[in-house]
């Protein structure tokens, strides 16, 4: 597996920013290292911090594997440029929107209106669709643009909570 340092750092930070249980903030480095220690893998919080800041590079394959497992993604997510990584990033973007209060309010209001009115509103709303028919904001197709999910979020899917019950602590 080829791990590009900048891509690894960005994707690791994106996972920290977006993947965490409802009702709490993002994981702290020490929480992740403690969870990994519980699985028999020792990783120090300062080293994890250095990986996240880009000060340290070239994590071992085992470190990448354990971080991927913790966050519920495949190791391939950290590859330099994979279709899987792009798909996960698109999902993380959309999933992060679920936790945006204004998006939740708008969605709740939209669900409450009559179906005919909802259809009219949706028909008049602008749409941006990617070539693979996944609706996304076209600004984030450009690899030089950073996804807004790196700036924060609040997401951990129910499936991930079932796979990783240790994430469900408040």
Nearest to 63 by CA among 71, 117, 21, 55: 71
Averaged pLDDT of the chain: 78
Which pLDDT value is given to residue 2? Answer: 61
| Segments making up each domain of the chain, as ranges | 5-167
- Going from the C-alpha of 87 to that of each of 20, 48, 59, the distances in angstroms are 19, 25, 23
Neighbours of 160 (CB within 10 A): 18
25 pLDDT band (50/70/90 cuts)? confident
> What is the per-residue pLDDT for 122?
84
Q: Where are the beta strands (DSSP E) in the chain?
A: none
Taking residues 153-163, what's their average pLDDT? 39
CB neighbours of residue 101 within 10 Å: 8
Gap between the Cα atoms of 5 and 153, Å rounded: 23
Name the more confident of 41 and 166: 41
Q: Could you tell me the pLDDT band of residue 55, with boundaries at 50, 70 and 90?
A: very high
pLDDT tens-digit map of 98-142: 878 899 898 899 889 999 998 888 888 887 654 443 444 433 333
- Domain 5-167: assigned CATH number: 1.10.260.40
Instruction: Report the alpha-carbon distance of residue 106 to residue 99 in Å, rounded.
Output: 12
Residues in CB range of 161: below 8 A, 6 or more apart: 21, 167, 168
């Amino acid at each position: 597996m080829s791990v590009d340092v900048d891509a690894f750092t960005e994707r690791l930070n994106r996972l920290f920013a977006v993947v965490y249980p409802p009702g709490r903030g993002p994981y702290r480095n020490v929480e992740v290292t403690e969870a990994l220690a519980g699985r028999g893998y020792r990783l120090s919080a300062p080293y994890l911090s250095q990986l996240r800041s880009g000060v340290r590079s070239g994590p071992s394959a085992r470190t990448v594997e354990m971080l991927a497992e913790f966050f519920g993604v495949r190791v391939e997510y950290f590859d330099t440029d994979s279709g899987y990584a792009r798909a996960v990033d698109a999902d993380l973007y959309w999933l992060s929107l679920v936790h945006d209060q204004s998006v939740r309010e708008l969605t709740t209001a939209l669900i409450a209106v009559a179906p005919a009115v909802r259809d009219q509103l949706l028909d008049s709303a602008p749409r941006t669709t990617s070539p693979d028919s996944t609706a996304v904001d076209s600004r984030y197709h450009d690899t030089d643009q950073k996804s807004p999910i790196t700036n924060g979020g609040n997401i951990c899917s129910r499936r991930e909570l079932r796979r990783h019950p240790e994430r469900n602590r408040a």
